[in-house]
Structure 1
Amino acid sequence: MKIQTDITQLLGIRYPIIQGGLQGLGTSHLVSKVSEAGGLGLITAGSFETKKDMLQDIDIARRLTDKPFGVNIAIGIRKPMDEFIDGVIEGEVPIVFTSGNNPEPFIDRLKEKDIKIVHVAPSIRFAKKAESLGYDAVVVNGYEGGGHSGKDDTTSLTLVQKAANELNIPVIAAGGFSTGKSLLAALALGAEGIQMGTRFLLSKEAILHNRVKQLLVRMQENDTILVKKSIGKTARVWKNARSIELAKFEEKGATFEEIFPYISGESYEELIRNGNVESGVIALGQTVGLIDTIKTVEGIIQEISNEYDKQLQKLNLLQKGDSLES
């Protein structure tokens, strides 16, 4: 069954399910599978060294699917992203998600090309700013989410409702969403869709090393930790020996130079490619505690759709006052 919302209409997708940015993992192989299954796959620009590399992957994605997909660009997190903005325009990418630093310098160029633009915001203040700049929609990222969820520690339950109440553009809920029940809850809170990172991280198509996948699939909701607070880039990551050590260093007032080896691209690559779990840290949301299987992307989206339908039917029975046993 199709789930029609303002977001599915805006983005031209079957289900209001969007793949979040996945550094080093959000590439054509995964992205095309998400889009083929009816969601929106997003190529993560930060996965590439150059614009040329990204454009080559965009071409591959187009060969693998004729369904809509987009590009996620984190502005100013690791390096200047100007050339990647140039790349999405040159590559005629129809949908761009931005996050991180101020996207205002790039907006006019994107809108001139009729690109649908969505901003990922960790707070109502930034979501409203995105609306004022002319964004078509926003993702609000609650405290439960993996990666950068801002400094306010506001949970999705509050953040999503407040954003839906106070904004006039569609809201996408992120942070704690990985199931059909959570999709239904997001829509009930006023969102028009959900964005998932952790769930797709644990898909068969994600090119994360299998050793890491097998460890993560056994993790619980309390197996994450907040790090990088000391540099103003608070992130929720997997609580492994490396991230625990990093958090302790930060508590002691470690300098950026001292914590850099823990968060560098080299240590991250060693983790995701070679399965060295003592090397780096990886973004991980609390919803990992709800994930106990590694499925195909198609299987994940169908499972969410089926559970959504089942839970909706249950709620409809409650509304009618019928017995759930009948």
Structure 2
Amino acid sequence: MIRTAITDLFNIKYPIIQGGLQGLGTSELVGSVSEAGALGLITAGSYRNKFEMKRDIENVRNKTDNPFGVNIAIGIRRPMDEFVEGVIEAGVPIVFTSGNNPQKYMSKFKENHITVVHVAPNLRFAKKAEEIGCDAVVINGYEGGGHPGPEDHSSLILLQEIVPKLSIPVIAAGGFATGKSLLAALSLGASAIQMGTRFLFSEESILHPVIKEELLHVDISDTTIVKKSIKKHNRVWSTDNAQRLQVIESNGGTLEDILPFINGETYKELIYKGNKNSGIMSLGQSVGLVQKIEPVKQIVDSIVEVCEKQLERLNQTSSEKGLN
């Protein structure tokens, strides 16, 4: 059994967190992740309003009695005030925030005994999250899908820089998809890993089967960064569409030129209808480490098993060499 500050904080069995997945972080996946002993996160931006989100929160509760939370991206796409209200009304005890500073919501969260975790791309933002009262931070390396921040710093370097300088637990994100990477994160002082891309390949993920199957043939080089021109760096699947967007940005395209590539409707065409030539999809470099589609429980169990076996092997090696 792997016990860490994060497993204790969330009262979960394993130090594995499901990342926010726009349009895909819904009850089908979230309930399965939490039931498997990890922490599932409802992605608030997947819903049209708080009422839809609250209904799906109840669906999660019908799937599992285990802890789960809600991921709220602040200021990325639209105002999230009503979703903050929805979390409080639904009595969800864990919230992950990303994007802009969550300080304006902190008093509401704390008054309602909600554990708050913020996603940060560097030391400055991680320290700020600690100062405003966050209970933990996610450190998001450049390898991660979604919004890793503007600096090309890897998880390996960021964790070694940041962990010693914080007094709150750190969750490692960006490039984590295997048991070996879980062990590496723990070795670097993190208390858990967060995975988004890895869970796309779960049977419970509602990503269109055609897209899932195609992603099995994608390697670690098949992601790229877009939206640099609007200072919203986004690691995505390097499709023809994403490459066309990069050309438009490099040629000085306006926000009006960019919007057709990043709006919600084209994204839905991609993830729900399997239209690869519509929209763009966040994707981490760890996509190249996944070879098959599996049930969530099998994914979680395999990661933990490999981590424990690797730790046992390292302990045995150090004992044989007299390093203990």
Identical-pair percentage: 58
Q: How do residues 165-204 of structure 1 correspond to structure 2 at under 5 angstroms?
A: 165-204=164-203
Shift of 1:26: 0.3
Is 2:271 aligned against 1:272?
yes
SS at match of 2:314: helix
| Whole-Å separation in 2 of the counterparts to 1:116 and 1:282 | 29
Shift of 1:322: 5.6
SS at match of 2:76: coil
| Whole-Å separation in 1 of the counterparts to 2:246 and 2:320 | 51
Code of the aligned partner of 2:72: I
Is 2:66 aligned against 1:85?
no
SS at match of 1:279: coil
Tell me, yes or no, if the aligned pair for 1:71 and 1:97 is still in contact at 8 Å. Answer: yes
Tell me, yes or no, if the aligned pair for 1:99 and 1:121 is still in contact at 8 Å. Answer: yes
TM-superposition CA deviations, 1:40-65 (whole Å, max 9, x none): 00000000000100000011111111
SS at match of 1:147: coil
Is 2:245 aligned against 1:241?
no
| Whole-Å separation in 2 of the counterparts to 1:314 and 1:219 | 31
Task: Please identify, of 267-276 and 155-164, the stretch whose mean Cα deviation from structure 2 is larger.
Answer: 155-164
The answer for unaligned runs of 5 or more in structure 1 is: none
Shift of 1:321: 2.2
Shift of 1:170: 0.0
Task: Show structure 1 runs of 4+ deviating over 6 A.
Answer: none
SS at match of 1:262: helix
| Whole-Å separation in 1 of the counterparts to 2:166 and 2:293 | 36
| Whole-Å separation in 1 of the counterparts to 2:261 and 2:218 | 21
Corresponding residue for residue 310 of structure 1: 309
Tell me, yes or no, if the aligned pair for 1:203 and 1:295 is still in contact at 8 Å. Answer: yes
Is 2:69 aligned against 1:60?
no
| Whole-Å separation in 1 of the counterparts to 2:270 and 2:250 | 24
Shift of 1:242: 0.5
Tell me, yes or no, if the aligned pair for 1:161 and 1:191 is still in contact at 8 Å. Answer: no
Code of the aligned partner of 1:262: F
Code of the aligned partner of 2:124: R
Corresponding residue for residue 69 of structure 2: 70
Corresponding residue for residue 21 of structure 2: 22
Code of the aligned partner of 1:61: V
| Whole-Å separation in 2 of the counterparts to 1:65 and 1:307 | 25
TM-score (norm 2): 0.98
Corresponding residue for residue 261 of structure 2: 262
Code of the aligned partner of 1:319: S
SS at match of 2:214: helix
Shift of 1:172: 0.2
Tell me, yes or no, if the aligned pair for 1:174 and 1:194 is still in contact at 8 Å. Answer: yes
| Whole-Å separation in 1 of the counterparts to 2:243 and 2:201 | 22
Code of the aligned partner of 2:95: V
| Whole-Å separation in 1 of the counterparts to 2:318 and 2:110 | 43
TM-superposition CA deviations, 1:277-298 (whole Å, max 9, x none): 0001111000111111111100
Corresponding residue for residue 152 of structure 1: 151
TM-superposition CA deviations, 1:226-273 (whole Å, max 9, x none): 000000000100001100111111111100100100011001000001
Corresponding residue for residue 251 of structure 2: 252
Code of the aligned partner of 1:166: K
SS at match of 1:130: helix
Corresponding residue for residue 132 of structure 1: 131
Code of the aligned partner of 1:146: G
Equivalenced residue count is 322
